[in-house]
Amino acid sequence: MANYNDSYYKRKINTSYITSVISITLVLFTLGFLGLFVLHTKSLSNYIKENIGFEIIMKDNIKEADIVYLQKQLDIVPGIKSTEYITKEEATSRLNNVLGEDFTGFIDDENNPLLPSIDVRFNADWANNDSIQKMEKYVLANESVKEVFYQKSVVHLINSNLRKISLILFGFALLLLFIAVALINNTIRLSIYSKRFTIRTMQLVGATERFIIKPFITIGFVQGLVSAFIAMALLHGILIAAQQSIPELMLLSSREMLIYLNVFILVSGLLITGLSTLFAVEKYLRMKTDAMYG
């Protein structure tokens, strides 16, 4: 009979641990999925900003060496990501691709109305009207430059919309994080609740609080660690499947992004389960025996 009872309670405890791990895994997976979405949205935002056009139109009959020199000066500016020198011939070729040779057949090397230019792309932090206007003044001070072209309204619209989207995602992320903490906390509390009499028994035989708390914290960390690794594996599986279906997603992913996501899930799992376990055990350490039957 005693062996049967021992086996029954062991199965019950193991089932409780498995249930806790599954519950925590689902919460961490949901939290990680949102984190993955936010990081990809941030990458997409940077990609859009870094492809905002800023074209420097050079004057006619300017020496190529002067254009290359200006390009080299722009390359060392911290806020500029890349520059591309576009010759008259390259500009004609691009126009042919857009309009077709029927519309550009009259253009030849001697009577080419197109001007050489430098195509500039900024880093995401610089892709705003204030920074671009400063760069415009700097470039126009060069006597070789005829004009600078970029769509101010488009730049403002892109930054405005991306800012709104970021605020909405940030608010939603905070809400989900609060819900995740609450759900994991309740899961841990229910798990500790089933062991409240064990805690009281250990107190009655003279065990110190530190001695009682330590094994529960260890189990909490193990549950958080296992749940975090399962959640990370699920997220990586989904990401790989998504990238195979939509190869363009690989442009928005990076090794650093995945490292940040894994660290976030791992730290969240360990921190939330550890603190929730600590608070739950301390609650029953200070609870009166009569209240435990409630």
| Average pLDDT estimate for 224-230 | 91
- Spatial CA neighbour of 232 closest among 32, 19, 17: 32
- Note whether 233 and 176 are same-domain residues: yes
The pLDDT score that the predictor gives to residue 53 is 76
| Average pLDDT estimate for 35-58 | 83
Q: Which of 150, 174, 197 is the last residue of a domain?
A: 150
- Note whether 107 and 59 are same-domain residues: yes
| Average pLDDT estimate for 78-92 | 85
Give the chain's domain count. Answer: 2
Please indicate, yes or no, if residue 97 is contained in any of the structural domains.
yes
**What pLDDT, in 10s, does the model give residues 47-71?**
888 888 788 888 888 888 888 999 9
Is pLDDT above 80 for 19?
A: no
- Note whether 258 and 141 are same-domain residues: no
Q: Which of 150, 178, 209 is the last residue of a domain?
A: 150
The pLDDT score that the predictor gives to residue 99 is 64
- Note whether 289 and 192 are same-domain residues: yes
CATH code for the domain in which residue 59 is found: 3.30.70.3040
The pLDDT score that the predictor gives to residue 216 is 84
User: Cα 89 from chain centroid?
Assistant: 41
d(CA 282, CA 2): 31
Enumerate long-range contacts of 25-28, CB under 8 Å, 24 or more apart: 25/226, 25/227, 25/230, 25/231, 25/234, 27/180, 27/183, 27/184, 27/187, 28/180, 28/227, 28/228, 28/231, 28/265, 28/268, 28/269
- Note whether 28 and 87 are same-domain residues: no
The pLDDT score that the predictor gives to residue 13 is 53
**What pLDDT, in 10s, does the model give residues 266-275?**
998 888 888 8
**What pLDDT, in 10s, does the model give residues 169-226?**
788 878 877 887 787 777 777 777 777 777 778 877 887 778 888 888 888 888 889 9
Please indicate, yes or no, if residue 157 is contained in any of the structural domains.
no
pLDDT band at 281 (very low <50, low <70, confident <90, very high): confident
Please indicate, yes or no, if residue 6 is contained in any of the structural domains.
no
The pLDDT score that the predictor gives to residue 229 is 93
- Note whether 25 and 132 are same-domain residues: no
**Of 84 and 88, more confident:** 84
Range of the domain at 114: 54-150
Least confident of 4-8, 168-172, 250-254, 260-264: 4-8
| Average pLDDT estimate for 227-234 | 92
Look at the block and give the residue holding tokens 């500029």: 80
- Note whether 136 and 185 are same-domain residues: no
- Note whether 88 and 42 are same-domain residues: no
Please indicate, yes or no, if residue 8 is contained in any of the structural domains.
no
Among 7-11, 89-93, 120-124, top mean pLDDT goes to 120-124
Q: What is the mean pLDDT of the chain?
A: 80
- Note whether 223 and 279 are same-domain residues: yes
Helix (H) or strand (E) holding 199: helix 196-204
pTM value? 0.68
Look at the block and give the residue holding tokens 């859009």: 48
Please indicate, yes or no, if residue 158 is contained in any of the structural domains.
no
d(CA 149, CA 55): 5
